[in-house]
Amino acid sequence: MLHYILHYFGELGHLIKNEDYIKIRLDEEIMHDQLSSKIKIEDEFIENKIKFIQSFIKQRKLKIDFEKIDSQNNLSNKFLK
| pLDDT at res. 21 | 92
| pLDDT at res. 22 | 86
Question: How far does CA 33 lie from the centroid of its chain?
Answer: 11
- Per the structure, the count of domains in the chain is 1
| pLDDT at res. 2 | 57
Given a cut of 70, whether residue 24 has pLDDT beyond it is yes
SS (H, E, C) 9-51: HHHCHHHCCCCCEEEEEECCHHHHHHHHCCCCCCCHHHHHHHH
Average pLDDT taken over every residue of the chain: 79
Parent domain of 37: 2-80
Which 8-state DSSP code applies to residue 76?
T
